[in-house]
Structure 1
Amino acid sequence: MAQKLSGYHRALDLFEGVAGGVTRDGWDRPSPCAGWTARDVAGHVIGGQYLVRAMATGTAKPDVARDPARYCAGDAMLEWRTARKECAAALTPDALRRHVPFAGLGDLPLGDFLGGYLLEPLIHTWDLARATGQPARLDPDLVHHAFATAHMVAAHFRASGRLGPPLPAPPGADEQTRLLAFLGRRAGA
Structure 2
Amino acid sequence: MARNLSGYRRTLDLFEGVVGGVAPDAWGAPSPCARWSARDVAGHVTGGQHMIRALAAGEPVPDVNADPARFSPGDALLAWRTARKECAAALTPEALRRPVPVGALGELPLADFLEGYILEPLVHAWDLARATAQPERLDPDLVHHAFATAQLVAAPLRAAGHLAPPLPTPPGADEQTRLLAFLGRPA
The alignment's TM-score, normalised by the length of structure 2, stands at 0.98
Cα offsets for 1:136-181 (capped at 9, x unmatched): 0000000000000000011111111111111111111000000000
2:10 match = 10
Within 5 Å, give how 1:59-78 maps onto structure 2. Answer: 59-78=59-78
Distance 1:146 1:136 in 2: 16
What 5-or-longer segments of structure 2 have no aligned partner?
none
SS at match of 1:100: strand
Distance 1:115 1:46 in 2: 18
2:88 corresponds to:
88
> What are the within-5 Å matches in structure 2 for residues 45-124 of structure 1?
45-124=45-124
Contact 2:11 2:121 in 1 (8 A): yes
Percent identity, please: 73
Deviations 1:63-82 (A, max 9, x none): 00000001111110110000
> Shift of the alpha carbon at 1:2?
8.2
What is the distance in 2 between the residues matched to 1:142 and 1:13? 12
1:70-119 residue CA offsets vs partner (Å, 9 max, x unmatched): 11111101100000000000000000000112232111100000000010
The residue type equivalent to 2:175 in the other structure is E
Q: Distance in 2 between matches of 1:103 and 1:119?
A: 16
What is the count of residue pairs matched by the alignment?
187
Q: Contact (CA 8 Å) 1:38, 1:128: kept in 2 or not?
A: yes
Matches within 5 A, 1:118-157: 118-157=118-157
**What's 1:163 paired with?**
163
Taking only aligned residues, the RMSD between alpha carbons, in angstroms, comes to: 1.1
For 2:168 and 2:159, how far apart are their aligned partners in 1? 19
Aligned partners of 2:2 and 2:158: how far apart in 1? Answer: 31
Q: Unmatched 5+ residue regions in structure 1?
A: none
